[in-house]
Amino acid sequence: MAGDAASLKLVKVCFAVNPPAEQAIRPWECFFVVGNSSKLGNWDPDGALELTRRSSTDPSSEWVGSITGTTLEFNEPLRFRYFTGYYLESAKKFRIISRWESWVSPRTVIPTIEASSSSVCREHVIDEFGTNGGRQQLSEGWLQNAEHNEILLRIHGDALKFYSTRHAQRTYRIHVSPFDLQRRESSHDDEDSQSGSGLPKLPSFSHTDVAILSNSDPTFHDQHHYGEIFQNNNSYFVFRTHTVAFEFLAFRIEFFTDSTLEVSCAKSSHVMKESTRLPERVAVAYCLPSSMQHSFGKVVVPVLGRQQKPIGQITMDYLLVKGLTGLTEPLKMDVSFCHHWKKRRTLEVGHRGSGNSYTKFAAARENTIHSLNNAAQNGADFVEFDVQLTKDRTAVIFHDFHVLVSVAKRSSSLLLEPGKPYVPAVVELHQMAIKDLKLNQLHLLHLDHYQHDSPDNCRKGSVKVSAEDHEGVEHRPFPTLIEAFMNINPETGFNIEVKYPMMMKNGCHECENYFERNEYIDVILSDVLNHAGSRRIVFSSFDPDICTLISLKQNRYPVLFLCVGATTRYVPFLDERSSTSMTAVNFAAGTQLLGVNFHSEDLLRDAAPLHRANKLGLVSFVWGDDLDSQKNIEYFKDLLVDGLIYDRIGEVSKRQNVFTVEREAKNALFKNKTPAPSLSPSRSSSIDGGAGVPQGTPLRPPSPLRSFES
């Protein structure tokens, strides 16, 4: 009976948290705590405990809350994280995550021990949001459901055009504000005299913040009340807003000028004293939902002057990111690797498995199960491969957007004279897009590589894509992404390059009329999240918007921005964000990606982008044909890049998967470890001291904050 009473003893666990001084919580945000208890949502943010401010009159006071349970309920360690969030409302109320503590290991407490002498645990503990054990890490939230959307507006290039020289010569500040067309705005606006009765109390959209990719600090921040100075062909602005009612979301773009600038334009020959007057609004533009009918595009809207007459126009790109669909269970907050990278020796990644086989020489057909497994057996830490969708929306592994399909052409003379002896049909090759062929067609048709006659192709003549009849399944092209998860050594990481066609600077498009971006990414992400298990995953893409979608739709795996940069080997992409490696670094930092996958050609010319990436805490990978040279591989290793992607891995010199080496060393450490004498106050064979590490195994310094382990 006494044991039963002890197990039913009630324990109160207290939570208290303060925001960091440099990142104050916004007035509309609240603190929440989520964890591995049913009272904390079992890591589901929808079931998290909402905290309250200890003092409603003191904005600097901590946020507090508590849960109560029996000692039986709290028998296991209680693990938890804090996050900030706010509510939006359309047809129903939605909780939006602003920022959350995303270390791999969450906060931990053992209530039955800490509350052994009293019934209250953590009564006087106040945590600092984002800091635990001397480590700091906060990540932005992701899109949690299908109704939760993020809209991005990009203003760059020659975006502003004015009809008169007087207006064109001014310097403008741009400020963007969202509003819901269903609702009357603040009470001082008299455009709509309706009472607005029955409208929700909460907004359907968030505030709009801005990232200026052309600045030294490219991260998102609150807009200045009078906006930021924009200069044509020099500035790159990205505005973002969360919404749960995109179909009713509109934007007001306001233009401000400093009064001193106006006087200088009118009387440029005179030196005027600096005015203390605040900037004034001189023009406005409205971007309505009817202008954004798709999830991606470009809009041109008129700029209206003080007299509500058009004085110019502004061009903007827009991107609608929708919440992920197709998961077998919702994403939770128990673990995240999005910004977790363990600094170790340079990882070596097998390019398309064992290497490019269609335009170069390789031991196995590229992007097949055999090629990927061959690279894994040769000691690759990761294997890199390309993923795209077939017509029936199956994620397959293949590099190119097109193939050549063999079509037998029948001679008309054979039809007219059936008595003639048989003449073999003439075979013609027709180019078709992978997106226009179903998976079974890709397996049945006779296919050739679309560049089989290209002068850049090292393998002259026909290069067959289709497998021969005698080849096993593992040698055949177009394995599905799910098959890769099922058949590749689980200790080998996957660098999944998500293919998406882009516009080139020469005016050509890689593959027009492609899948809608959100639906496309949802299929690939669902396959990964439903089948990845414990495998290490890193996504990458040349399309910066695809990188954005992947990072916003899930909270589990990191993303690298694949960059071509300045090049003489390839036709560059039109997108300004990939035109230089330095711009790519700013984009990755502003979008909170893990890092950048640089092109070797550009870094061999100038390593400054790599140094800037290091300064911003980004992970750096390198890809390119220059890595066919062992000399260049060693050069980049000396620069301490985090990963190298190259062909024919492990064929020149034998190597072993670094994760296998670490696992075996760890097992040997604990196997050979001898217990310390019971009378000794210290343990001489500690892990930090390296006792039990096999001879020749180098000791590594402490891991930095950015890491990606297991």
Sequence-distant (≥ 6) Cβ neighbours of residue 128 within 8 angstroms: 17, 18, 20
The per-residue pLDDT for range 166-200, each reduced to its tens digit, is: 999 999 999 999 999 987 655 444 444 343 444 45
**Residue 90's pLDDT is what?**
86
What amino acid occupies position 708? F
Q: DSSP string spanning 42-68?
A: GG-GGGPEEPEES-TT-TTSPEEEEEE
Pairing of strands 493-498, 382-389: parallel
Distance CA 432, CA 409 (A): 17
What phi and psi, each to the nearest 5 degrees, are found at residue 33?
-130, 135
Distance CA 37, CA 70 (A): 12
Pairing of strands 296-304, 310-322: antiparallel
> Contact, 206 vs 99, CB < 8 A?
no
Sequence-distant (≥ 6) Cβ neighbours of residue 348 within 8 angstroms: 379, 380, 381, 382, 643, 644, 646, 649, 655
User: Which CATH number is correct for 149-187+198-322, 1.20.120, 1.10.10, 2.60.120, 2.60.40?
Assistant: 2.60.40
In the block, which residue shows the tokens 């177009």? Answer: 478
Domain range summary for the chain, segments of one domain joined by +: 2-139, 149-187+198-322, 347-400+473-646
Structure tokens given for 542 = 């040349």
Instruction: Find, among 378, 338, 371, the residue nearest to 356 by Cα.
Output: 371
Q: DSSP string spanning 566-585?
A: S-SSSPPBS-GGGTSHHHHH
Q: Indicate the SS3 state at residue 459.
A: coil
404 burial (CB, 10 Å; 0-12 / 13-18 / 19+) is: buried
Pairing of strands 221-222, 209-212: antiparallel
Instruction: Find, among 104, 112, 156, 554, the residue nearest to 329 by Cα.
Output: 554
Instruction: Find, among 278, 264, 499, 244, the residue nearest to 384 by Cα.
Output: 499
CB hemisphere CA count around 310 (13 angstroms): 10
Does 347-400+473-646 match 149-187+198-322 at the fold level? no
> Contact, 184 vs 192, CB < 8 A?
yes
Q: Indicate the SS3 state at residue 272.
A: coil
Q: What is the pTM of this model?
A: 0.87
Pairing of strands 30-35, 493-498: unpaired
Query: What angle do the packed helices 581-590 and 608-615 form, to 10 degrees?
Result: 10
The topology (CATH level 3) of 2-139 is: Immunoglobulin-like (2.60.40)
Structure tokens given for 417 = 């004279």
Instruction: Find, among 556, 635, 559, 642, the residue nearest to 603 by Cα.
Output: 635
Structure tokens given for 693 = 């590490």
The segments of the chain whose pLDDT lies below 50 read: 187-199, 261-273, 459-462, 678-708, 710
Distance CA 227, CA 335 (A): 37
Phi-psi region of 592 (alpha: psi -120 to 50; beta: other; left: phi over 0): left
**Residue 461's pLDDT is what?**
46
Distance CA 379, CA 370 (A): 14
DSSP state at residue 473: G
Structure tokens given for 83 = 């996050």
Query: Which CATH number is associated with domain 347-400+473-646?
Result: 3.20.20.190
Structure tokens given for 297 = 């595009």
Distance CA 369, CA 484 (A): 6
Distance CA 42, CA 36 (A): 4
